[in-house]
């Protein structure tokens, strides 16, 4: 079976975890601080705050910005539903925005019509590791006095116009789930240039506790979203090989693009000028009139794992009746994620590309 994704783990991670377990310090200690410093260095921000998941990072970003009942946050419709869920759980409303069908990212042109006096943030998702088109998004946001939350869950190691994703605007949010570039099992990180905001985030992740007085003080109602020391130790080991992992993904993606070039019935992913992607996922769009799920099933019958790109939030029961987002809905119906991870061989890439070509050729002949 050629796996869709596979975490890059080795003896360094095992040794790092063993050292933590032997130390007896298991939660939010020196290793968490070191992991935060390493991520901050890569992202180019003075502050990084480790938390228990990427969704936890998004949740704290919303809370730290003071977003609540009566407020709105613009969220791209084609993304993991957690992006909208954290807004709704804060008592605010997720206003769903359509996407650019070439990049799958938030389409800046739709934003002016969605902004209202209640808009308190725009969430820009760097989907599948490809940076969103941030310049027009950030300019519009600055002109309206609206902060941008970067969902960089998939984008560690990606850059936009030479700048690292996650450090472009007010807050960046990362995930370290096993399908991401770098994994700690579960885990997440917030990054920011704003020192006061960083202090609010640190308090919110730890019950609202701040280091004041002899025993600290609980200055707000917070949550327990801390990262463990052994997760951070895994993350530190992963950070050492991040450049190599990104480089290998880019090699594999380049090979897939060459071998699938001109393949009928499939739209290949793009990398616009100024957008350097880490290729967290390699997502194609199957042509209208072709059954995406049949292509997925045919790949699986050949021992090649594949799945949908991601979800259209507006198509989920929890968000029935929300904004119409036709590009997102089409991507939800027709997008397909193909295997891409550093454990793949060049032969695996050829196997995947050949299978896609054969399946689509057979499908076209049967039409």
Give the pLDDT of residue 367: 63
Residue 145's closest CA among 170, 173, 125?
170
| Closest to 83 (Cα-Cα) out of 115, 126, 36 | 126
Q: Is the pLDDT of residue 218 over 90?
A: yes
Residues of the chain above pLDDT 90, percent: 96
Provide mean pLDDT across the span 239-267.
97
Instruction: Name every residue whose Cβ is closer than 8 Å to that of residue 136 and which is 6 or more positions away in sequence.
Output: 108
Q: In terms of residues, how long is the chain? A: 367
Query: What integer is the mean pLDDT of 172-190?
Result: 97
Q: Which domains, and CATH codes, for the chain?
A: 11-240 (3.40.640.10), 242-366 (3.90.1150.10)
Phi-psi label, residue 145: left if phi above 0, alpha if psi -120 to 50, beta otherwise: left
Cα–Cα distance between 149 and 94 in angstroms, integer?
13
Strand partners, 210: 217
Give yes or no for residue 125 having a pLDDT over 80.
yes
CA-to-CA distance for 56 and 187, rounded, in angstroms? 8
Rg for the chain (alpha carbons), in Å?
Answer: 21
**Whether the predicted pLDDT of 366 surpasses 80:** no
What pLDDT is recorded for position 195? 98
Mean pLDDT of the chain: 97
- Sorted by sequence, the CB contacts under 8 Å of residue 209 that are 6+ apart come out as 203, 216, 217, 218, 219, 222
- Rounded CA-CA distance 105/131 in Å is 8
Q: Which residues are catalytic?
A: 180
| φ, ψ at 50 (rounded to 5°) | -80, 140
Contact 166, 42 (CB under 8 A): no
pLDDT at 328: 98
Where would I find the H helices in the chain? 11-23, 30-43, 54-64, 82-89, 111-114, 134-144, 195-204, 229-240, 242-260, 292-301, 326-334, 346-366
Q: Which residue has the tokens 């071998």?
A: 259
Q: 323: pLDDT confidence band, cut at 50, 70 and 90?
A: confident
- Among all chains, which residue has been given the structure tokens 């949010």? 173
Number of CB atoms found within 10 A of residue 241's CB: 15
What pLDDT is stored for residue 204 in this prediction? Answer: 98
Give me the pLDDT at residue 93, please. Answer: 98
pLDDT level of residue 362 (50, 70, 90 thresholds): confident
CA distance 67 to 151: 16
Structure tokens at 317: 């029961």
Mean pLDDT, residues 189-212: 97
Residues 103, 268 contacting (CB under 8 angstroms):
no
Q: State the greatest distance between any 2 C-alpha atoms of the chain, in Å, as a whole number.
A: 76
Tally of CB atoms within 10 A around 224: 10
Average pLDDT over residues 168-183: 97
Is the separation of the CB atoms in 310 and 80 below 8 Å?
Answer: yes
Does 364 score more than 80 pLDDT?
no
For 98-120, write each residue's pLDDT tens digit. 999 999 999 999 999 999 999 99
Q: How far apart are CA 192 and CA 151, in angstroms?
A: 13
* Residue carrying the six token digits 């949550």: 223
Q: What gap in Å lies between CA 242 and CA 303, rounded to an integer? A: 28
Mean pLDDT of 116-139: 98
Q: In this predicted model, what pLDDT tens digit does every residue of 19-71 receive, in sequence order? A: 999 999 999 999 999 999 999 999 999 999 999 999 999 999 999 999 999 99
* Among the listed residues 91, 96, 135, the one whose alpha carbon sits nearest the alpha carbon of residue 113: 96
Tokens of 157: 């190691």
CA distances from 33 to 14, 47, 202 (A): 20, 11, 12
């Amino acid at each position: 079976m050629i796996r869709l994704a596979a975490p890059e783990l080795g003896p360094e991670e095992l040794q790092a975890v063993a050292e933590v377990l032997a130390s007896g310090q298991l939660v939010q200690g020196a290793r968490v601080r070191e992991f935060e410093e390493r991520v901050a260095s890569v992202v180019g921000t003075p502050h990084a705050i480790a938390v228990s998941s990427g969704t936890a990072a998004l949740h704290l970003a919303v809370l730290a910005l003071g977003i609540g009942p009566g407020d709105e946050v613009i969220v791209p419709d084609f993304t993991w539903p957690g992006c909208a869920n954290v807004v709704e759980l804060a008592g605010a409303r997720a206003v769903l925005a359509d996407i650019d069908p070439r990049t799958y990212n938030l389409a800046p042109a739709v934003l002016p019509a969605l902004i209202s006096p209640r808009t308190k943030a725009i969430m820009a998702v760097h989907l599948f590791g490809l940076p969103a088109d941030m310049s027009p998004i950030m300019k519009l946001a600055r002109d309206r006095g609206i902060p941008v939350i970067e969902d960089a869950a998939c984008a560690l190691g990606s850059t936009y116009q030479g700048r690292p994703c996650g450090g472009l605007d007010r807050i960046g949010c990362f995930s370290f789930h096993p399908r991401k570039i770098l994994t700690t099992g579960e885990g997440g990180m917030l990054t920011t240039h704003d020192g006061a905001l960083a202090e609010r985030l640190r308090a919110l992740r730890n019950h609202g506790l701040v280091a004041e007085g002899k025993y600290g003080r609980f200055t707000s109602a917070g949550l327990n979203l801390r990262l463990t020391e052994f997760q951070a130790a895994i993350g530190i080991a992963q950070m050492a090989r991040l450049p190599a992992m990104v480089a290998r993904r880019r090699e594999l993606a380049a090979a897939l693009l060459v071998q699938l070039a001109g393949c009928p019935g499939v739209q290949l992913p793009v990398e616009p000028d100024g957008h350097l992607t880490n290729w967290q996922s390699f997502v194609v769009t199957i042509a209208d009139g072709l059954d995406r799920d049949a292509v997925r099933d045919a790949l699986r019958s050949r021992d090649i794992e594949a799945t949908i790109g991601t979800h259209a939030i507006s198509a989920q029961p929890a968000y029935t009746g929300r904004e119409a987002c036709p590009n997102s809905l089409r991507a939800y119906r027709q997008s397909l994620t193909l295997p891409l991870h550093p454990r793949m061989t060049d032969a695996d890439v050829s196997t995947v590309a050949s299978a896609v070509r054969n399946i689509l050729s057979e499908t076209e002949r049967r039409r």
